[in-house]
């Protein structure tokens, strides 16, 4: 029963957190803000980011208010997930309710953010490749936005291994490396 509850909370929270992460990354890579998908992300995240923007300035071209909101939400989600996991009769070590502390919550929050970022790039790369197989990415608003997000990651791999006879293996290499890094993160199964 607790596993189902953890799955449900984690899935819904991760989808919500992905919108904030996507907003942060879109502004970092200077993606097109007039893209319809970008507009959806801004409308979902504006209720929390706009008030934070009044208090926190952007720093060195990075959207600090969005990142702070994302990090605070991640801390809350991680805390809730750890507390639910501590209710399990098999909770041991750091996951037991009596041993949960601020350092553990912060550590797992940072690890979950890294994991979520890797998952976002794995999924974006996969969809970007599918769009290249089944249609023209340039005319599709989603393809243009995914190109803005994924191309900076694919470009260094393409410099080392350029496409040969129309076959580009850079997305495959990037996906495998990102997935391996995600697997190496020190996260318990219920926080992945």
Q: Centre a 10 Å sphere on the Cβ of residue 4 and count the other Cβ atoms it contains.
A: 8
- Averaged over successive runs of 10 residues, the pLDDT of the chain (192 residues) comes to 87 97 94 90 96 91 93 96 80 58 93 97 94 73 88 95 88 96 91 84
Whole-angstrom Cα distance, residue 34 to residue 182? Answer: 32
Give the per-residue pLDDT at 85.
84
Give the per-residue pLDDT at 33.
87
Give the per-residue pLDDT at 166.
81
**Distant-in-sequence, close-in-space partners of 80: CB < 8 Å, separation ≥ 6:** 9, 13
pTM summary value = 0.90
**Distant-in-sequence, close-in-space partners of 71: CB < 8 Å, separation ≥ 6:** 109, 113
Give the per-residue pLDDT at 179.
97
Alpha-carbon separation of residue 117 from 18, 54, 87, 97 (angstroms): 8, 26, 28, 28
Give the per-residue pLDDT at 62.
86
| Furthest C-alpha separation in the chain | 60
């Amino acid at each position: 029963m607790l596993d189902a509850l953890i799955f449900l909370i984690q899935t819904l929270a991760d989808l919500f957190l992905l919108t904030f992460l996507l907003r942060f990354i879109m502004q970092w890579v200077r993606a097109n803000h007039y893209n319809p998908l970008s507009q959806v992300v801004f409308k979902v995240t504006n209720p929390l980011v706009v008030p934070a923007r009044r208090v926190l300035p952007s720093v060195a071209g990075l959207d600090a208010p969005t990142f702070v909101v994302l990090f605070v939400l991640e801390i809350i989600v991680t805390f809730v997930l750890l507390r639910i996991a501590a209710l399990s009769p098999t909770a041991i070590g750091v996951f037991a309710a009596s041993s949960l502390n601020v350092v553990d919550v912060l550590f797992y929050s940072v690890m979950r953010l890294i994991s979520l970022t890797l998952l976002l790039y794995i999924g974006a790369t996969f969809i970007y490749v599918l769009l290249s197989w089944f249609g023209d990415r340039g005319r599709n608003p989603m393809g243009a936005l995914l190109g803005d997000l994924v191309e900076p990651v694919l470009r260094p791999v393409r410099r080392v291994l350029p496409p040969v006879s129309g076959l580009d293996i850079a997305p495959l290499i990037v996906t495998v490396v990102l997935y391996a890094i995600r697997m190496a993160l020190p996260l318990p199964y219920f926080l992945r």
